[in-house]
């Protein structure tokens, strides 16, 4: 009899086996956690369209922000990041991956707003620790000082030799969103950049 195999999802850093590394060294200056299987949805549409704004607010509890480089928190841990004047990235916990799309899609019916699921196209790395600023300063030309990069701010900038969206989630941590094809490069980059401070993996 043939053994049935269930579909198996692999996160962008599956090959690095981060769960096995988690907890080995707890004293690192940089703490890295891969936000595995987070939901990421691209939302596009005119930022002044009342129908689209109302639809998104109904689905997520927050209207798309119009201030450059800003983000807002929605319901259930979702967050709307403004990328360009007519493009937002909706970030949500992995448990909402299916739900988020269907909610947004039905809420945007009859409006110019459009959504597409890009969850599997990106890797989300949550960085924290006392050496966070030092590691970021090596990685990007963007000024990551708190006065220029306060909590809630999101910027698209260079990261290593690649590109990343960086979101300051709170005073002590930054979410780095890179293309899935750059996940391994970013992982190697961060290991090298954090070598002098020590690197801890959170599970």
Partner 1 sequence: MLNIYCPHCGEHRSEEEFHYAGEAHIPRPENPAELSDEAWGDYLFFRRNPRGLHHEQWYHATGCRRFFNVARDTVTYEIHESYPMGARPSVSRDSEEAA
98 binds partner 1 (CB under 8 A): no
158 binds partner 1 (CB under 8 A): yes
* Interface with partner 1 (CB under 8 A), residue from 68, 121, 150, 203: 68
Q: Partners of 200 in the beta sheet?
A: 31
118 binds partner 1 (CB under 8 A): no
CA–CA gap between residue 191 and residue 16 (Å, rounded): 12
Q: In this chain, which stretch among 11-19, 47-55, 71-79, 151-159 interacts with partner 1, using CB under 8 A?
A: 151-159
CB of 162 to partner 1, least distance (A): 9
CA–CA gap between residue 70 and residue 64 (Å, rounded): 10
Which of 168, 175, 120, 128 has the alpha carbon at shortest distance from 145?
Answer: 168
CA–CA gap between residue 181 and residue 178 (Å, rounded): 8
C-beta of residue 129 within 8 angstroms of C-beta of residue 200: yes
Identity of the residue, 157 or 173, whose beta carbon is nearer to partner 1 in the bound complex:
157
> Which residues form the interface with partner 1 (CB under 8 A)?
68-69, 83-85, 87, 141-142, 155-158, 163-164
């Amino acid at each position: 009899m043939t053994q049935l195999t269930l579909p198996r999802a692999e996160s962008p850093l599956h090959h690095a086996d981060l769960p096995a590394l988690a907890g080995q060294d707890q004293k690192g200056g940089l703490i890295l956690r891969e936000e595995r299987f987070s939901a990421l949805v691209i939302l596009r549409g005119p930022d002044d369209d009342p129908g689209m704004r109302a639809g998104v607010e109904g689905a997520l509890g927050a209207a798309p922000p119009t201030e450059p480089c800003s983000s807002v928190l929605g319901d259930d841990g979702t967050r709307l990041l403004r990328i360009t004047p007519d493009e937002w990235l909706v970030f949500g916990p992995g448990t909402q991956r299916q739900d988020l799309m269907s909610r947004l899609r039905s809420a945007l019916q009859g409006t110019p707003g459009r959504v597409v699921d890009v969850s599997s196209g990106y890797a989300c790395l949550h960085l924290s620790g006392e050496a966070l600023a030092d590691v970021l300063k090596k990685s990007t030309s963007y000024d990551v000082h708190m006065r220029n990069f306060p909590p809630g701010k999101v910027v698209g900038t260079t990261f290593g030799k690649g590109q990343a969206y960086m979101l300051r989630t709170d005073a002590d941590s930054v979410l780095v969103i890179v293309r899935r094809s750059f996940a391994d490069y970013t992982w190697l980059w961060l290991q090298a950049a954090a070598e002098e401070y020590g690197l801890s993996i959170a599970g």
